[in-house]
Structure 1
Amino acid sequence: MKVPTDLSSLTDTLESDMDLSDLGITKQFAPGETIVAEDAPVRSIPIVTKGSIKVLQSDDTFKEMVLYYLRPGETCIMSFLAGLYHDTSKVKAVAEEESEVLFIPVVKIHNLIKGHPEWLNYIFQIYHKRFEELLEVVDAVAFKNMDERLLQFLEKRCEVMETDTLSMTHDQLAQELGTAREVISRLLKKMEAEGLVELGRNKIRLM
């Protein structure tokens, strides 16, 4: 099994030299299962091979906010760095759908980087992509109204899930955006009146 990726840094040469699954273990995760826990030691680097993963961070009151999503061929750069520097995870990674993740021990990642310079390109590309997404989160929180943040969140999630209809409760949306359920309900009704979404029972369809 080769790790699927559309990132140019994992070149055909690298993939023809080895089967990455030989370097670690592959695990299956159901929707909602935690893959990486906050404050847990990172001894293996997760690389998504199937499905999608959301990466969140929580505050002292246990409110959570989605930072970014991972698709096949991608890794969580924050977990990657925590593993390389023997630190604990500062984020939580949760399966968004049925997912498969390859865990490569940190010591083998060191060897991969030394033996295959292509991996440095892969790491830098992932870092660049995640940095841009984190800037979008900061921009949304600091400068956008909640209705703009909500629409942006729905659009991003639909893009990741490759659908126009999401199965989510107002409570789930409120938790992931760090606000109250009443705020989400009010904004969704307003968006429906404006023709931006269509609401059903625990379903939201982007128009």
Structure 2
Amino acid sequence: MESLEQIVEFRSSPELVEKLYQYSVIKHYEAGSVILNENASIRSIPIVTSGMIKVIRTEQDGREILLYYIKAGESCIMSFLGGLHNDTSKVKAEVEEEAEILFLPVDKIALLIKEYPQWLDYIFRLYHMRFEELLNIVNAIAFKKVDERLLALLRKKAELTQSRTIFITHEQLANELGTARVVVSRLLKQLEESQVVQLGRNKIMLV
């Protein structure tokens, strides 16, 4: 668990941490749970204290693409922006690993910004981090081949989970990359033949 006191911007303000715990509701979710759907009203902002969430964009034809992960100590900047402007969600948030999440009501966001500069620093850091991640996504789609993006995604998952064994289906990988399952299966087979990965049932091990 990532206690809020450990977040860099909050260390100098125990009062802010106290307010966040006071205003928020804590909930636990299993992997695969969807905590926010596209076009849904944003009533609260999630702050992850353990586990991990993935943020996905879905097109009208049903295709999906992974935008970024939200790890312990982080929040969703898209929810911040939507909540501040009374807008609906433009993304889907799904639990990647069993998670504990604090939900801060949107009406408290502006209040905390006025009272605690550390809260605004936290929002700006998240905004900067997500902006860079989205630029990387655009760069990868525009300039990298699917096999490069696939291997980069596998390495990212291994880094986040601190394990070389990744439990995921070819369909899930295809959804996160915004491509077809048959393409992912073919590329994974090529990576296995090159001894970059070992394939198992619903799992992939980086060699």
TM-score, normalized by length of structure 2?
0.94
* Alpha-carbon shift at residue 194 of structure 1 (Å): 1.4
Residue number in structure 1 paired with 2:14 = 15
TM-score, normalized by length of structure 1?
0.94
Residue 165 (structure 2) pairs with residue 165 (structure 1): yes
* Alpha-carbon shift at residue 202 of structure 1 (Å): 1.2
Residue number in structure 1 paired with 2:90 = 90
Amino acid at match of 2:62: F
The C-alpha deviation readout for 1:99-143, integer Å capped at 9, x for no partner, is 011011111121111110011111110000000100111011111
- Higher mean alpha-carbon deviation, 164-173 vs 87-96, is at 164-173
Whether the aligned pair in 2 keeps the contact of 1:5 and 1:73 (CA below 8 Å) is: no
Residue number in structure 2 paired with 1:111 = 111
In the TM superposition, what are the counterparts of 1:50-65 in structure 2 within 5 Å? 50-65=50-65
Residue number in structure 1 paired with 2:40 = 40
The C-alpha deviation readout for 1:144-164, integer Å capped at 9, x for no partner, is 000000001111111222211
Residue number in structure 2 paired with 1:125 = 125
Gap runs ≥5 in structure 1: none
Whether the aligned pair in 2 keeps the contact of 1:55 and 1:92 (CA below 8 Å) is: yes
Name the CA distance, whole Å, in 2 between partners of 1:45 and 1:81.
10
The SS at the match of 2:97 is: coil
Residue number in structure 1 paired with 2:185 = 185
Amino acid at match of 2:202: N
* Alpha-carbon shift at residue 69 of structure 1 (Å): 0.1
Aligned pairs, number: 206
